[in-house]
Amino acid sequence: MAIIRRYMADKPSAEDVLMETFMKIFSHVGSYKGSGSFEGWMKRIAIREALMVLRKNSKMHYKETEELPTAGISPSVIQELEVETIMRHLMDLPDGYRVVLNLYAIEGYKHREIAEMLDISIHTSKSQLRMARKKIEEMLSQSDIS
Residue-range domains of the chain with CATH: 1-59 (no CATH), 62-146 (1.10.10.10)
Q: How far apart are CA 137 and CA 139, in angstroms?
A: 5
The per-residue pLDDT of the chain, averaged, comes to 83
Residue 123 above 90 pLDDT? Answer: yes
What is the average per-residue pLDDT within 16-22? 96
Q: How confident is the model at residue 99 (pLDDT cuts 50, 70, 90)?
A: very high
Q: Distance of CA 96 to CAs 23, 56, 127, 145, Å?
A: 26, 13, 11, 26
Give the mean model confidence (pLDDT) for residues 88-114: 91
Overall average pLDDT of the 80-90 stretch? 71
pLDDT (0 to 100) of residue 70? 42
Residue 117 to residue 51: CA distance in whole angstroms: 9
Note the pTM of the prediction, 2 decimals. Answer: 0.70
